């Protein structure tokens, strides 16, 4: 496929504009601004068009073609931001073929975008926001609290952005090289394995975080019959932390918004302390 | 606070507001935002500490799909300004201040996301005219509004006399201050519940319980536990790829072959 494409490009070199190395870099840089105009009407639509605009400029010097390219990329779009680079790559491949005269319709390009954004959103949010970011930021915060100061924020920034930028770069490249063949990746099960691994690791770490950071410190010594069982304090507190988290999960499933749960916990903390049940 | 450091704090607020919607560089995460405000006000030590404490609370707060979570950037900047700036309130009071600003930031974010629809219609007109650079300008202008979303409230807080704020916080009874401290310990549960809500299913509960019990029983530090978690995950994936039949969600034989092939490619 790749070879075939290259041949095609050679043939069309003189008649049709092609994407230049600089365009890919510019598009890669722009990919970090995808959500700037996130809106309730078409979500990331303008973001996608913004990212693609160096390619639109290069491929469609003719005004009518340019207008229709701009319009088709201002349609509804929403996915997990970092995963979007894969969609960009595939679309760049399609747009370049279209500009070279291949019979690719607007609705084909739109349906490729639509077909990719759902599954990628379903992978991207849990992997990046549900696992990688919580784990990295937790490790960084722990570094700070164990006395490494500024190294915590620096390592978090470098690690996250290193992963994010290299992923975006590679995904854009891969999407462009493979074009619509990338759909095979969706059915191959690799993405399923990644999701499964990230979910297992993420949940393991959430278990660790609950044990380490949700603090419900009961003072059993205050209750007469527990006076000689102070060693139990740590275990009772840990159990309470787990139950508290499960209560929050239950409330979220009941569609109580996080803000109300936060306010509830504030009140609970105040009452718990004032009543002498929970200690600082 | 001098004019220069005030301006730098406002610049940080603007950048945090922009990155808060972009969700790319993570400058809006408390760990980084509070550190930057700390640097600007010449009080980086308390900025970093506040950031780490606030980070643990906000760790799971995320926008999934179109749902807007409590805001992270605005409370991080405001709390850091109050803690590191001339008001010099304590870290736990700073966190108590952060919570209402998480609500305010969320409301403002929803407001801006609605108003940007107008810009989208301008972009449509730019597209009808084939005017790419105008379309790009509209996009970046939207970003500036998201920056102002954090900058404006920060500016308002800056204009309140720090002595008054300091005095106000000192009026709070000790019972309430200590109660807030207890609450801070509880708050992290919400973020973890948000992550669980997105991911957890029946067999993942065992992973969660495993991590929890190992952490409680062993008392190992979080870095070692992370490595153990990674190793267990790798073993799990290795085992489930060797015994495809034991996994419920694996499909037919063809799918399995493709999957093995892709794994070899990796």
Contacts of B103 in chain A (CB under 8 A): 259
Q: Would you say B236 and A197 are in contact if contact means Cβ atoms under 8 Å apart?
A: yes
Torsion angles phi and psi, residue B62, rounded to 5: -150, 150
Closest CA to B30 of B55, B61, B53: B55
Residues A83, A28, B195: CA angle, nearest 5 degrees: 25
Q: Would you say A93 and A165 are in contact if contact means Cβ atoms under 8 Å apart?
A: no
HSE (side-chain half, CA atoms, 13 Å) at A103 = 0
Give tens-digit pLDDT for A174-196.
999 999 998 888 888 888 899 99
The token pair at B144 is 């500036």
Domain-by-domain residue ranges, chain B? 3-187, 201-265
Look up the ipTM and state it: 0.89
Contacts of B188 in chain A (CB under 8 A): 209, 213-215
Lowest mean pLDDT among B39-48, B91-100, B144-153: B91-100
Kindly tell me if the per-residue pLDDT of B253 is higher than 80. no
Give tens-digit pLDDT for B200-229.
888 899 999 999 999 999 989 999 999 999
Write b or e for each residue in B240-252: b if 16 or more Cβ atoms lie within 10 A of its Cβ, otherwise e.
bbeeeeebeebee
> pLDDT averaged over chain B?
89
Minimal C-alpha gap between A7 and chain B (Å): 25
**Cα–Cα separations (whole angstroms), residue B208 to A124, A171, A249, B156, B189:** 21, 31, 13, 43, 14
Facing B59 at nearest CB: one of A53, A57, A138? A138
In the prediction, which pLDDT does A14 show? 53
The token pair at B266 is 């990796």
Write b or e for each residue in B76-100: b if 16 or more Cβ atoms lie within 10 A of its Cβ, otherwise e.
bbbbbbbbbbbbbbbbbbbbbbbbe
Facing A139 at nearest CB: one of B106, B142, B226? B226
Give the H or E element holding residue B43. Answer: none
With CB atoms and an 8 Å threshold, state whether A57 touches B132.
yes
**Cα–Cα separations (whole angstroms), residue A133 to A128, B1, B185:** 6, 34, 21
Torsion angles phi and psi, residue B120, rounded to 5: -60, -40
Minimal C-alpha gap between A153 and chain B (Å): 6
In the prediction, which pLDDT does B210 show? 96
Looking at per-residue confidence, does B104 or B176 come out higher? Answer: B104
The token pair at B184 is 């801070």
Contacts of B102 in chain A (CB under 8 A): 259, 262
Residues 130-189 of A with CB under 8 A from B: 130, 133-135, 137-142, 144-146, 149-150, 152-153, 156-157, 160-161, 164, 184-185, 187-189
A249 touches chain B (CB under 8 A): yes
Minimal C-alpha gap between B140 and chain A (Å): 7
DSSP B248: T
Give tens-digit pLDDT for A91-137.
999 999 999 999 999 999 999 999 999 999 989 999 999 999 999 99
Closest CA to B196 of A252, A181, A168: A252
Residues 69-128 of A with CB under 8 A from B: 70-71, 74, 78, 81-82, 121, 125-126
What number is the average pLDDT over the span B36-65? 92
What number is the average pLDDT over the span A217-244? 78
Minimal C-alpha gap between A224 and chain B (Å): 23
Output the DSSP codes for chain A. Answer: -HHHHHHHHHHHTTTS----HHHHHHHHHHGGGGGGG-BTTTBTHHHHHHHHHHHHHHH--SHHHHHHHHHHTTS-B---GGGHHHHHHHHHHHHHHHHTT----HHHHHHHHHHHHHHHHHHHIIIIIIIIHHHHHHHHHHHIIIIITTHHHHHHHHHHHHHHHHHHHHHHHHHHHHGGGGHHHHHHSHHHHHHHHHHHHHHHHHHHHHHHH----B-GGGSGGGTT-TTHHHHHHHHHHHHHHHHHHHHHHTT--HHHHHHHHHHHHHHHHHTTSB--
With CB atoms and an 8 Å threshold, state whether B99 touches A253.
no
Closest alpha carbon within chain A to B147:
A36
Q: Give the percent of chain A with pLDDT over 90.
A: 70
DSSP B42: T
Rounded CA-CA distance B47/B79 in Å is 9
DSSP B243: -
Cβ neighbours of residue A266 under 8 Å, at least 6 residues apart?
B99, B180, B183, B187
With CB atoms and an 8 Å threshold, state whether A45 touches B120.
yes
Kindly tell me if the per-residue pLDDT of B248 is higher than 70. no
With CB atoms and an 8 Å threshold, state whether B222 touches A208.
yes
Give tens-digit pLDDT for A41-64.
999 999 999 999 999 999 999 999
Give tens-digit pLDDT for A210-220.
999 998 887 76
**Cα–Cα separations (whole angstroms), residue B91 to A16, A217, B85, B180:** 62, 20, 12, 11
A32 touches chain B (CB under 8 A): yes
**Cα–Cα separations (whole angstroms), residue B260 to A140, A199, B4, B241:** 35, 20, 59, 8
Closest CA to B76 of B123, B165, B162, B13: B13
Contacts of A185 in chain B (CB under 8 A): 262
The token pair at B60 is 């799971």
Helix and strand numbers (H, E) in chain B are 11, 0
In the prediction, which pLDDT does A4 show? 52
- What distance, in Å, lies between the first and last C-alpha atoms of chain A? 65
SS3 B103: helix
The token pair at A61 is 């010097």
DSSP B87: T
**Cα–Cα separations (whole angstroms), residue A262 to A44, A126, A245, B98, B174:** 29, 22, 12, 12, 21
Minimal C-alpha gap between A279 and chain B (Å): 7
Kindly tell me if the per-residue pLDDT of B39 is higher than 60. yes
Cβ neighbours of residue A132 under 8 Å, at least 6 residues apart?
A160, A163, A198
The token pair at B232 is 């267990």
A200 touches chain B (CB under 8 A): yes
Contacts of A207 in chain B (CB under 8 A): 207-215
With CB atoms and an 8 Å threshold, state whether A245 touches B232.
no
With CB atoms and an 8 Å threshold, state whether A214 touches B175.
no
């Amino acid at each position: 496929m790749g070879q075939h494409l290259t041949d095609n490009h050679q043939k069309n070199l003189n008649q049709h504009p092609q994407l230049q190395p600089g365009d890919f870099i510019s598009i890669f840089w722009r990919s970090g601004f995808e959500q700037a105009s996130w809106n309730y009407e078409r979500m990331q639509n303008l973001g996608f068009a913004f990212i693609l605009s160096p390619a639109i400029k290069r491929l469609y010097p003719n005004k009518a073609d340019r207008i229709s390219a701009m319009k088709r990329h201002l349609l509804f779009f929403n996915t997990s931001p970092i995963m979007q680079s894969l969609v960009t790559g595939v679309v760049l491949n399609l747009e370049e073929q279209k500009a070279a005269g291949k019979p690719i319709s607007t609705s084909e390009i739109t349906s490729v975008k639509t077909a990719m954004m759902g599954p990628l959103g379903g992978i991207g949010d849990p992997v990046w926001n549900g696992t990688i970011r919580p784990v990295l930021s937790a490790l960084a915060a722990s570094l700070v609290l164990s006395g490494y100061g500024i190294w915590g924020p620096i390592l978090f920034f470098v690690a996250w952005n290193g992963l994010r930028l290299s992923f975006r770069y590679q995904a854009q490249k891969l999407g462009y090289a493979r074009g619509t063949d990338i759909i095979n990746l969706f059915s191959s099960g690799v993405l399923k394995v990644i999701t499964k691994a990230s979910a297992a690791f993420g949940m393991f770490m959430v278990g660790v975080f609950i044990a380490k950071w949700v603090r419900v410190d009961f003072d059993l010594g205050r209750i007469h019959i527990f006076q000689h069982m102070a060693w139990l304090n740590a275990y009772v507190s840990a159990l309470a932390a787990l139950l508290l988290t499960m209560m929050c999960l239950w409330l979220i499933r009941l569609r109580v918004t996080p803000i109300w749960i936060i306010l509830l916990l504030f009140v609970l903390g105040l009452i718990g302390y004032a009543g002498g049940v929970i200690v600082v | 606070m001098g004019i220069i450091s005030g301006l730098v704090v406002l610049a940080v607020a603007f950048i945090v507001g922009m990155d808060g919607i972009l969700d790319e560089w993570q400058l809006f995460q408390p760990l980084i935002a509070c550190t930057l405000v700390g640097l600007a006000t010449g009080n980086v030590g308390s900025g970093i500490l506040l950031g780490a404490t606030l980070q643990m609370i906000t760790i799971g707060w995320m926008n999934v799909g179109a749902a807007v979570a409590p805001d992270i950037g605005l409370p991080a900047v405001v709390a850091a300004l109050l803690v590191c700036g001339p008001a010099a309130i304590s870290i736990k009071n700073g966190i108590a201040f952060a919570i209402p600003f998480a609500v305010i930031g969320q409301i403002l974010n929803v407001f801006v996301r609605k108003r940007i629809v107008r810009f989208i219609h301008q972009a449509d007109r730019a597209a009808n005219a084939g005017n790419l650079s105008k379309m790009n300008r509209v996009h970046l202008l939207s970003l500036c509004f998201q920056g102002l979303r954090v900058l404006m409230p920060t500016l308002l807080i800056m204009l309140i006399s720090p002595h008054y704020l300091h005095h106000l916080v000192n009026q709070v009874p000790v019972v309430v201050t200590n109660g807030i401290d207890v609450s801070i310990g509880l708050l992290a549960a919400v973020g973890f519940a948000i992550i669980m809500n997105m991911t957890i299913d029946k067999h993942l509960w065992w992973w969660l319980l495993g991590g929890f019990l190992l952490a409680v029983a062993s008392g190992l530090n979080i870095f070692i536990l992370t490595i153990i978690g990674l190793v267990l995950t790798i073993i799990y994936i290795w085992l489930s790829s060797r015994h495809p039949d034991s996994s419920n969600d694996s499909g037919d034989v063809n799918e399995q072959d493709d999957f093995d092939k892709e794994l070899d490619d990796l």
